[in-house]
Amino acid sequence: MSQKVCVIVGGGKGMGAAVAREMSNRNYKMALMSPSENCEILAKELNGIALRGKAENKSDTNKLIKLTMEKYGRVDSLLIHVGGPPKGDLLDISEDDWNKANEMVLMPVIRLAKLVTPIMQSQGSGSIVNITTFSAFEPSLIFPTSSVYRVGVSSFTKLYSDRYGKDGIRMNCLLPGFTDSLDLPQKFADMSVFKRLATSKEQAKAAAFLLTQDSSYITGQSIRSDGGVTRHM
């Protein structure tokens, strides 16, 4: 069998880069995309491939999957990790910014699913993981557009898993809490029961669990890795 391949959208720095290193350590070939040269630098380090681009740009994601198939001929795992959408006071957020948030958060998941599903069907297996946020199920006025659209990602994830589970394809969401990849004040760390931020490596191990056959019987789930920030059971 050919060496397995992992595609990471948002794999240039922070949590995305940590997942790339973790998956590479698990002997996956890597295909990375981010808006900056960071993905190219990391791909060189991991002996992978990279493409500069944005998740919300349909042309960029099309090129990424095409490049991956030309180079490796398969896609076993896909991680979608997008940046933060616009914020603001709830009713002061413009319609343009609400639409931008939709394009940044929800639409990349749908578009990429359309691209990789036929590939994974032909392979008989595959795993897609969407990095969202703890506030998907406990909405926060600090992150209004993110809270709205990331819960949409969880809904799509469940629908997708119901539809394509018979083909051996899984989709899950990872809902991280506050992580050290961001420069955050202590008050955010104090929201965790551990009184600290998560490390990117901790979140990467959780993502890798979902991306690999270690989680072969888990699909359609939104799994929180937030250090106990949320109360929802």
> pLDDT tens across 73-113, in order?
999 999 999 988 999 999 999 999 999 999 999 999 999 99
Question: Does the residue 233 lie in any domain?
Answer: no
Question: Does the residue 16 lie in any domain?
Answer: yes
Amino acid 84: pLDDT: 86
User: Rounded to an integer, what distance in angstroms lies between the CA atom of residue 34 and that of residue 231?
Assistant: 33
Express as a percent the part of the chain with pLDDT over 70.
Answer: 99
User: Rounded to an integer, what distance in angstroms lies between the CA atom of residue 64 and that of residue 108?
Assistant: 12
Consecutive H or E run containing 110 = helix 107-123
Give the range of the structural domain holding residue 204, as residue numbers without chain letter: 5-225
Mean pLDDT rounded to a whole number for the chain: 94
Sheet of strand 49-52, all strands in order from the earlier edge strand to the far edge? 49-52, 29-34, 5-9, 77-80, 126-131, 169-176, 222-225
Do residues 105 and 153 touch, judged by C-beta distance below 8 A? yes
Q: Count how many domains the chain has.
A: 1
CATH of the domain at 59: 3.40.50.720
User: Rounded to an integer, what distance in angstroms lies between the CA atom of residue 116 and that of residue 167?
Assistant: 13
Amino acid 1: pLDDT: 60
Mean pLDDT of 37-63: 97
Question: Does the residue 187 lie in any domain?
Answer: yes
Which residues have C-beta within 8 Å of that of residue 125, sequence separation ≥ 6? 76, 168, 169
Q: What does the radius of gyration of the chain's CA atoms come to, in whole angstroms?
A: 17
Question: What is the band of 180 on the pLDDT scale with cuts at 50, 70, 90?
Answer: confident
- Taking 70 as the threshold, does the pLDDT of residue 119 lie above it? yes
Residue with the two structure tokens 């595609």: 7
Amino acid 222: pLDDT: 96
Question: Does the residue 90 lie in any domain?
Answer: yes
pTM (two decimals): 0.95
- Taking 90 as the threshold, does the pLDDT of residue 34 lie above it? yes
Question: Does the residue 218 lie in any domain?
Answer: yes
For residue 131, give the 3-state DSSP assignment. Answer: strand
Q: How far, rounded to the nearest angstrom, does the alpha carbon of residue 119 sit from its chain's CA centroid?
A: 19
Q: What is the pLDDT of residues 125-178, one digit of tens each?
A: 999 999 998 888 888 898 899 999 999 999 999 999 999 999 999 999 999 988
Question: Does the residue 230 lie in any domain?
Answer: no
Question: Does the residue 87 lie in any domain?
Answer: yes
Question: Does the residue 215 lie in any domain?
Answer: yes
Task: Name the residue with higher pLDDT: 187 or 95.
Answer: 95
Closest C-alpha among 47, 28, 203 to residue 129: 203
Amino acid 135: pLDDT: 81
Amino acid 167: pLDDT: 98
Task: Give CA separation, 88 vs 33, 140, 143, 176, 230, in Å.
Answer: 28, 11, 8, 21, 22
